Amino acid sequence: MKEYIRTEKFLVLTSIDNVGVALQDLKEGEKVHIREKEVIIKEKIEFGHKFAIKDIKKGEKIVKFGEIIGEAIKDIFEGQHVHIHNIKSLRARRNE
């Protein structure tokens, strides 16, 4: 699970993460290099917000910093903003 990618623009902490965290505002069309590939940002990503670093299918778990934090409620494409409009949180769930 080891991996640590930090640039001035974003952070990806582990090899199982499927989102990156913006360390500065990212503009639509901006290109970032992650895991030997180029990801094109599809929409404005504000500082501290998440973006998909690979395509994420509806129902797939969202992994940030090695932890499952949510589930995609619709398909999310590489470079898109990942937030409450396209995921449901699993962080505050109690044992059912």
Across the strands, what pairs with 14?
Answer: 2
What are the residue boundaries of the structural domains of the chain, listed by start? 2-89
The predicted model scores a pTM of 0.90
For the stretch 50-74, pLDDT in tens is: 999 999 999 999 999 999 999 999 9
Q: How far apart are CA 87 and CA 75, in angstroms?
A: 10
* CATH code assigned to 2-89: 2.30.130.110
DSSP-assigned letter for residue 56: B
For the stretch 15-55, pLDDT in tens is: 999 999 999 999 999 999 998 899 999 999 999 999 999 99
